């Protein structure tokens, strides 16, 4: 396996400097919140797959739903003049049960990057239909992450995800994120920082010309950029600015949705109704590649209102509304509700956050701990606390390596350790994660 992995499987993100082992860990089995590698070493997965296996690796009702759907109707497209019953049932569940907040329709995709691509395209189309075809630009947050397709990469805040592909889509501009630990304003008060970031957004809109901007896209809590929860005033402020200038607000809920933040969506924490929502990841618990864009009522009305078909989408995806993915998603929604995983995510998330804050008291390597909204936490490592000098990748990898030996799989992203375990995780396993990070920090100091 190792030899074939090294020879035949290109893993661009598994650079030796970021790997727990070289070649990388080969996972062969997973049950509950635990994974086992090819050497039989078992660990608690503090990554939750890739923040998608919210219900754990052995969620029987979802597996059963997939098996039953494969038996009954393994595939039928929702492309031209056909649809399938599983996709139809899922659309009303998503609308009436998961996101009743003014969402009218869903457009199915095969994952998060697709969902972002579709939402940003729809934003331009919406303005065009309304005679505002000059609205073609996109705004997003520095530190935001929106996937790998060309539009998503163009709005990614982190330049590392953009520069190697440039020139990307012209007309994409990035504004400061409300990242309290590091920001261009040197502001540590979250509320004041939110106001400064909102002012910067408004300045950028005026500078670009509001009549040229199609949409603003943001994660309600920034994920891959290092788990950055904004102050509660930030997203409502963004909503107000978007309304003022006729700009669509796209919430990238790919990470936040389905209970991860302790609620069904991240936007709901902030009491905000976006115009579109991108969802994927936990929608099928990681068991099937699937995603969707939830489309608000005003948009649906503009696209479909007079029945002329002017809003029809020029092209579609073969796998849009795949019945097996839809069946998995339906089962996931039922299980998320039945097991009340949102509540567990909130309680265990608090335990994890508090445990990490305690670690910070003992370990100089920790510069910042972020969390407080469900099971999304990050530990930012520094080589000098006073100067906030980011720790190098080698240090973060050394922490993860030692934690892995101690029985916990961590995810390293730059100088951050990002924690996003399955939402069904129990108290003892959260304690295990905290203690293994402690072991890792001691080993790396
Ligand atoms: N948006 C966000 C917020 C994400 O975190 C990700 C993936 N981590 C994506 C979009 C892209 O999703 P996918 O990997 O399923 O294409």
Give the residue range(s) of CATH 3.40.640.10 domains in the chain: 62-338
pLDDT of residue 31: 98
CATH code at 2-55+340-444: 3.90.1150.10
**What number is the average pLDDT over the span 165-179?**
95
Quick count: other Cβ atoms within 10 Å of Cβ 72? Answer: 12
CA 201 to ligand 1 center in whole angstroms: 23
| 343-377 per-position pLDDT tens digit | 999 999 999 999 999 999 999 999 999 999 999 99
Q: What share of the chain is helix, strand, coil (3-state, %, to 5)?
A: 45, 15, 40
Tell me the two tokens of residue 158. 């982190």
Backbone phi, psi, residue 377, to 5°:
-135, 160
CA 120 to ligand 1 center in whole angstroms: 14
Give the residue range(s) of CATH 3.90.1150.10 domains in the chain: 2-55+340-444
Question: Does residue 265's CB lie within 6 angstroms of at least one atom of ligand 1?
Answer: no
Nearest to 234 by CA among 200, 280, 261, 206: 200
Cα torsion 85, 87, 90, 94: sign: negative
Report ipTM for this prediction: 0.99
Pocket mutation for ligand 1, best pick of 12, 161, 254 (most atoms within 8 Å of C-beta): 254
Q: What percent of the chain has pLDDT over 90?
A: 84
Atom of ligand 1 nearest to the CA of 116: 10
CA 147 to ligand 1 center in whole angstroms: 5
Distance CA 198, CA 24 (A): 42
Nearest to 19 by CA among 32, 6, 34: 6
CA 316 to ligand 1 center in whole angstroms: 20
Tell me the two tokens of residue 215. 């949409």
pLDDT category at 6 given cuts 50, 70, 90 is: confident
Distance CA 102, CA 323 (A): 25
**Residues 278 and 313 sit within 8 Å (Cβ to Cβ):** no
pLDDT category at 296 given cuts 50, 70, 90 is: very high
pLDDT of residue 109: 96
The fold of 62-338 is 3.40.640
Question: Which tops the pLDDT comparison, 297 or 419?
Answer: 419
B/e letters for 173-201, b = 16+ CB within 10 Å, e = fewer, are bbbbbbbbeebeeebeebeebbbbbbebb
Tell me the two tokens of residue 114. 């697709």
Question: Does residue 111's CB lie within 6 angstroms of at least one atom of ligand 1?
Answer: yes
Question: Does residue 369's CB lie within 6 angstroms of at least one atom of ligand 1?
Answer: no
Question: Does residue 146's CB lie within 6 angstroms of at least one atom of ligand 1?
Answer: yes
Tell me the two tokens of residue 444. 């790396």
């Amino acid at each position: 396996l190792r030899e074939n992995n090294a020879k035949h499987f290109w893993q661009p993100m598994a650079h030796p400097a970021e790997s727990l082992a070289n070649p990388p860990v080969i996972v062969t089995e997973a049950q509950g919140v635990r994974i086992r590698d090819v050497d039989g070493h078992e660990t608690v997965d503090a990554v939750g797959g890739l923040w998608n296996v919210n219900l754990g690796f052995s969620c029987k009702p979802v597996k059963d739903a997939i098996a039953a759907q494969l038996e009954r109707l393994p595939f039928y497209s929702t492309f031209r003049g056909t649809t399938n019953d599983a996709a139809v049932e899922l659309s009303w569940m998503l609308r009436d049960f998961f996101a009743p907040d003014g969402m009218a329709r869903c457009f199915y995709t095969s994952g998060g990057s697709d969902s972002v691509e579709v939402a940003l395209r729809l934003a331009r189309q919406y303005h065009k239909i309304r005679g505002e075809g000059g609205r073609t630009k996109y705004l997003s947050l520095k530190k935001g992450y929106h996937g790998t397709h060309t539009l998503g990469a163009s709005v990614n805040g982190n330049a590392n995800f953009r520069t190697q592909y440039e020139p990307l889509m012209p007309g994409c501009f990035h504004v400061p994120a409300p990242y309290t630990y590091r920001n261009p304003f040197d502001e540590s008060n979250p509320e004041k920082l939110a106001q400064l970031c909102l002012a910067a957004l408004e300045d950028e809109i005026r500078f670009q010309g509001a009549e040229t901007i199609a949409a603003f896209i943001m994660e309600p809590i920034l994920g891959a950029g290092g788990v950055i929860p904004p102050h509660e005033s930030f997203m409502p402020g963004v909503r107000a600015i978007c309304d003022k200038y006729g700009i669509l607000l796209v919430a990238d809920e790919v990470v936040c949705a389905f209970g991860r933040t302790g609620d069904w969506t991240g936007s709901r924490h902030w009491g905000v109704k976006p115009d579109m929502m991108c969802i994927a990841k936990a929608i099928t618990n990681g068991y099937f590649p699937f995603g969707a864009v939830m489309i608000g009522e005003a948009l649906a009305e503009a696209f479909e209102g007079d029945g002329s078909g002017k809003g029809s989408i020029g092209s579609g995806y073969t796998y849009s509304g795949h019945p097996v993915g839809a069946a998995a998603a339906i089962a996931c929604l039922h299980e998320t509700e039945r097991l009340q995983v949102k509540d567990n995510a909130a309680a265990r998330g608090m335990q994890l956050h508090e445990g990490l804050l305690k670690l910070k008291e003992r370990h100089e390597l920790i510069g910042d701990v972020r969390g407080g909204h469900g099971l999304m936490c990050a530990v930012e490592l520094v080589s000098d606390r006073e100067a906030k000098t980011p720790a190098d990748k080698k240090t973060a990898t050394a922490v993860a390596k030692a934690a892995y030996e101690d029985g916990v799989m961590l995810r390293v992203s730059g100088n951050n350790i990002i924690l996003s375990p399955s939402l069904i995780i129990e108290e003892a396993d959260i304690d295990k994660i905290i203690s293994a990070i402690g072991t890792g920090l001691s080993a790396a100091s």
